[in-house]
Amino acid sequence: MAGEKSVETTGLLGWIDRRFPLTSSYKAHLSEYYAPKNFNFWYFFGSLSLLVLVLQIVTGIFLVMHYKPDAQFAFQSVEYIMREVPGGWFIRYMHSTGASMFFVVVYLHMTRALIYGSYRKPRELVWIFGVGIFLCLMAEAFFGYLLPWGQMSFWGAQVIVNLFSAIPFIGPELSIWIRGDYVVSDATLNRFFAFHVIAIPLVLLGLVAAHVIALHEVGSNNPDGVDIKAKKDKYGRPLDGIPFHPFYTVHDILGVAGFMIIFMAIIFFAPEMGGYFLEFNNFVPANPLVTPLHIAPVWYFTPFYSMLRATTDDFTWVLAGGAVLAAIVLFLRTKGLVKLIAPIVLLAVAVLLRLIDAKFWGVVAMGGAVVLLFFLPWLDYSPVKSIRYRPGWHKTLYGIFFANFIVLGYLGTQAPTDIFNLMSQIGTLIYLGFFFLMPVWSRLGTFKPVPDRVTFHAH
């Protein structure tokens, strides 16, 4: 512990410690890493994300032993895993269900960061690495989605890759380069397999390591948004902190137990989840000559897919008007670089919205909705971190944002209609407005005083 004389280890452990920082790493990241003592339910999802990552890697290794990345045999190899390999159906369903559960826990983990201000100073890098992990997960899921070589895999990949052709000048060549052919084919399957199994997981593991290291460097946030390092005892230990091990390892075991009960219930009783986790069309071999009536991505992409579909030629007028309005508001109500740069950028975007095809702006809206998250630490001007000490209408605003995101997700799973398209357009405006106007609304209202120390009630 800080301020106390360290005891040199002996025996085998001592031999290792003199050559590798095993004990010091254990102390730095577990037994002597002090976390706030007021963690609640929302703090289960970080460790659960790590658990699901390990499950995905392990089950993926076993699946690769029997899977053939060949357009002629890919679907049959999946059927072979499901029907002939001992326990193969269980491994495959763990992997497919795990993909959805990964996004469930990551979305909840990000929700906690939003409501408690975990992206604020000094945790900007923790947040940036986290959003990078989210982007990698989306890429990993997209590349893996093609591998079963079912109808929805094939046509979903065809539609998504074709979106890149909307990019001015380089679009058509870029989409061909991504596919490796003029249509989704064996070449596409092979390169997607390589990215899914090797390239993206390596980047993902590196970002996860960076995320954890950055977190342990600055310390964990808490529901009050109070810095526990500000008040320490004579040994240099935070007065409101407790060692991560054994207190939060036991705490997380409870979360893992609850999660595994739900996880196994889905695997054994509803692995397809009514077509949301595994689409019914994906149990039909890919056929380039038969197009499904309704092509939609898996549920975790659908909020952003809704934004893509919502961006029609008429809607670009609305977006252009919204960009001009946001530019005026930001110019009048902000200071510093935001006041100077943001209005110029938004006005330029308003002009370009009418000069470039709407299909391209749909792709920008879909991708930009994720990229916006990187800038969140510099968009939030609130004098407090946690939602606990913000005005009541801030909580309502966050509630509308989260409900809107869920509605956009549902709309993305449905066949397009006029009313659904209108709802998607309204939802897109709410999503974008939440972030673009955050420098203004986040500082408004009467804020509650933040306590000097964390508020904690023993269970």
Q: How many CA atoms lie within 13 A of 63 on its CB side?
A: 26
As a whole number, the mean pLDDT across the chain is: 91
Name which of 122-136, 203-217, 250-264, 353-367 the model is least confident about: 353-367
- Report d(CA 115, CA 128) in Å as an integer: 17
Q: Which residues contact 429 (CB under 8 A, 6 or more apart)?
A: 318, 319, 322
Structure tokens at 10: 């002996």
Residue 363 phi/psi, 5-degree rounding, is -65, -40
Share of the chain above pLDDT 70, in %: 98
- Report d(CA 290, CA 278) in Å as an integer: 19
Q: How many CA atoms lie within 13 A of 308 on its CB side?
A: 21
pLDDT tens by residue, 155-167 = 988 888 988 888 8
Binding residue per annotation — 95?
yes
- Report d(CA 295, CA 413) in Å as an integer: 9
Mean pLDDT of 411-424: 92
For residue 21, whether the previous peptide bond is cis, meaning omega lies within 30 degrees of 0, is no
Q: How many CA atoms lie within 13 A of 43 on its CB side?
A: 18
The pLDDT confidence band at residue 345, using thresholds 50, 70 and 90, is confident
- The amino acid at residue 17 is D
Residue-level length of the chain: 459
| Other beta carbons within 10 Å of 61 | 11
Structure tokens at 414: 């449905």
**Is the pLDDT assigned to residue 334 strictly greater than 90?**
no
The pLDDT confidence band at residue 443, using thresholds 50, 70 and 90, is very high
User: Residue 241 belongs to what H/E stretch?
Assistant: strand 241-243
**Is the pLDDT assigned to residue 413 strictly greater than 60?**
yes
For residue 358, the model assigns a pLDDT of 85
Mean pLDDT of 33-52: 94
CATH of span 37-283: 1.20.810.10
Binding residue per annotation — 211?
yes
pLDDT tens by residue, 368-409 = 999 999 999 999 999 999 999 999 999 999 999 999 999 999
Binding residue per annotation — 294?
no
Structure tokens at 158: 């065809």
Binding residue per annotation — 196?
yes
CB 207 within 8 A of CB 132: yes
Share of the chain above pLDDT 90, in %: 66
- Report d(CA 144, CA 99) in Å as an integer: 10
**Is the pLDDT assigned to residue 187 strictly greater than 80?**
yes
Mean pLDDT of 350-358: 85
Q: What residue ranges do the domains of the chain occupy?
A: 37-283, 299-441
CATH of span 299-441: 1.20.810.10
**Is the pLDDT assigned to residue 5 strictly greater than 50?**
no
**Is the pLDDT assigned to residue 324 strictly greater than 60?**
yes
Q: Do domains 37-283 and 299-441 have the same CATH topology?
A: yes
Mean pLDDT of 195-201: 96
Nearest partner of 96 among 37, 56, 42, 36, judged by Cα: 56
- Report d(CA 61, CA 51) in Å as an integer: 16
For residue 301, the model assigns a pLDDT of 93
379-396 in b/e form (b: 16+ CB < 10 A) is bbbbebbbbbbbbeebee
For residue 117, the model assigns a pLDDT of 95
For residue 7, the model assigns a pLDDT of 58
The pLDDT confidence band at residue 359, using thresholds 50, 70 and 90, is confident
The pLDDT confidence band at residue 286, using thresholds 50, 70 and 90, is very high
**Is the pLDDT assigned to residue 338 strictly greater than 80?**
no
- Report d(CA 391, CA 446) in Å as an integer: 6
CB 211 within 8 A of CB 133: yes
For residue 1, the model assigns a pLDDT of 44
**Is the pLDDT assigned to residue 138 strictly greater than 70?**
yes
- Report d(CA 84, CA 428) in Å as an integer: 46
pLDDT tens by residue, 215-265 = 999 999 999 999 988 888 888 889 889 999 999 999 999 999 999 999 999
**Is the pLDDT assigned to residue 459 strictly greater than 60?**
no
- Report d(CA 438, CA 382) in Å as an integer: 9
**Is the pLDDT assigned to residue 198 strictly greater than 50?**
yes
* Tokens 């095993």 found at: 22
